[in-house]
Amino acid sequence: MDASGRVEWPEGRAFAFTVFDDTDLATVENVSPVYALLRDLGLRTTKSVWAIDGNGVPRIGGATGDDPAYRDWTLELQASGFEIGSHGASPVTSPREVVVRSLERFREIYGHDPEALANHSGCRESIYWGDARVGGTSRLAYNLMTGFRRRGMFRGHREGDPLFWGDLCRERVRYVRNFTYADANTLAACPVMPYYDPVRPYVRAWFASSEGADVRAFNRCLGEAEQDRLEAEGGACIMYTHFASGFWSDGVLNGRFRELIRRLAGKNGWFVPVTALLDHLAEKRGLMVLTAAQRQVLERRWLRSKISVGYS
């Protein structure tokens, strides 16, 4: 940080930008054109994967590491500087033994453990998910908003449960994503990231993200004015999106997306994957330990976004 509290970015860059791409519905066909564009523009981001199919029929489509052509393509991405992160063990709820198998398989394929992870909302072994994302009165508010349908539903952090894998998460995963905000400057919405939350000890460090769930939300979050503000504020954007949701359709890339991402890439930004960005923040400022007051601010800010636009 400099004297004004702003983070200094490497190589004299003015701001930082990356993407965490949720792998729901993704296939080589529907996301490789998006990655070809990012690569050509010099952007390097994080693509999440499921290392294995897991048990049973996926409730949501999308390829996994069990598909050789898809696996090879993700390895090419990795070789060209993209980060491969995790979207959990598989597209379906995975008990501990399947989580272990998936972690081993991830390491076999990519040569190391997943460094950045985001829970998949359909999987009940998700860690600190559903109403466990928040505490106190925020949890009550969350449960009221969701009609108590997700109360206690997610169990990855519950010791003794067949879905428990918190100890493995703490051992092998470095960063897990929790809150998502409307602001393109993720660091302005969550100035403490990456942070350790003492009441959620199975996660070594948390990060937040900006809301760009599909191509429309992405384009809205990263419009010209928002890009210019991100740059002026010297901030950091970790866009959370699903590149399989409308970026490529009927054989063409979404025109507005192409225009916006080209414009952004023309700026003096630091365009590195999620883990590199978070490592830089942690190196400059140390890993923050969340206080009760800070937790309350983050939780309430997230709930307000959720009420207004239904953020993930």
Q: Which residues bind Zn ion (CB under 5 A)?
A: 22, 24, 120
Name the residue nearer to Zn ion (CB basis): 248 or 271: 248
Displacement of CA 228 from its chain's centroid (Å):
23
User: What's CA 205's distance to the chain center, in Å?
Assistant: 13
Q: Which residues contact 280 (CB under 8 A, 6 or more apart)?
A: 7, 9, 10, 16, 272
Q: How far is the CB of 124 from Zn ion (least distance, A)?
A: 13
Closest CB to Zn ion among 88 and 194?
Answer: 88
User: What does each C-alpha distance from 192 to 64, 169, 205, 247, 290 come to in angstroms?
Assistant: 33, 21, 11, 31, 8
**236 close to 15: Cβ distance less than 8 angstroms:** yes
Rounded CA-CA distance 304/246 in Å is: 26
Least Å from the CB of residue 88 to Zn ion: 8
Beta-strand pair 83-86/195-196? unpaired
CB of 48 to Zn ion, least distance (A): 8
Query: CB-wise, 120 or 177, nearer to Zn ion?
Result: 120
Whichever of 24 and 211 has its CB closer to Zn ion, that residue is: 24
Minimum CB separation of residue 92 from Zn ion in Å reads: 12
88 torsion bin: left (phi>0), alpha (psi -120 to 50), beta (else): left
Distance of CA 101 to the CA centre of its chain: 22
Q: Which of 259, 209, 222 is nearest to 46 (CA)?
A: 209
Reading the block at residue 272, the tokens are 């590195």
CA distance 50 to 22: 10
DSSP 8-state symbol, 147? T
DSSP state of 8: P
Shortest distance in whole angstroms from residue 120 CB to Zn ion: 4
Of 22 and 83, which has the nearer Cβ to Zn ion? 22
Task: Please identify, using beta-carbon distances, which residue of 58 and 81 lies nearer to Zn ion.
Answer: 58
In the complex, least distance from residue 117 CB atom to Zn ion, rounded to whole angstroms:
11
Nearer CB in complex with Zn ion: 211/231: 211
Q: Provide the minimum distance between the beta carbon of 23 and Zn ion in the complex, in angstroms, as a whole number.
A: 7
